[in-house]
Amino acid sequence: MFHFIWYILVGLIAGVIAKSVMHTHMTIFWTIVLGIVGSLIGGAVTHLFVRPATERYHPAGLIVSTLGAILVLFVCYKLRIHFPRV
């Protein structure tokens, strides 16, 4: 149960940072979804190169999650996909 709360918290932080960098306005729900999707993409990319030694949280996870969320926003911008505004 704690893992779900942790995913939401990290997704919220990564989403807020990504939408601040990309100057996008969206609701808190879509911010969390953006961060979680960015985390999945960033985690998939990092697992291709380095396998984690333990299953514990690593600080680079937040950085890679934020980069993944920025990538998602960039692709959505190029494809002209818009999120619901505040």
Output the pTM of the full model: 0.83
Q: Which helix (H) or strand (E) holds 83?
A: none
In a domain, residue 39? The reply is yes
CA dist., res. 17 & res. 82, Å (int):
18
In a domain, residue 24? The reply is yes
For the chain, what is the mean pLDDT? 84
Domain count, the chain: 1
Q: Which is more confident, 67 or 45? A: 67
Structural contact between residues 69 and 37, judged by C-beta atoms closer than 8 angstroms: yes
Structural contact between residues 41 and 12, judged by C-beta atoms closer than 8 angstroms: no
In a domain, residue 86? The reply is no
In a domain, residue 6? The reply is yes
**Segment among 20-24, 26-30, 39-43, 53-57 with least mean pLDDT:** 53-57
Structural contact between residues 41 and 23, judged by C-beta atoms closer than 8 angstroms: no
Which residue range is the domain that position 14 belongs to? 2-51+58-78
In a domain, residue 43? The reply is yes
Mean pLDDT of the region 7-11 = 85
Q: Is 33 left (phi over 0), alpha (psi -120 to 50) or beta?
A: alpha
In a domain, residue 85? The reply is no
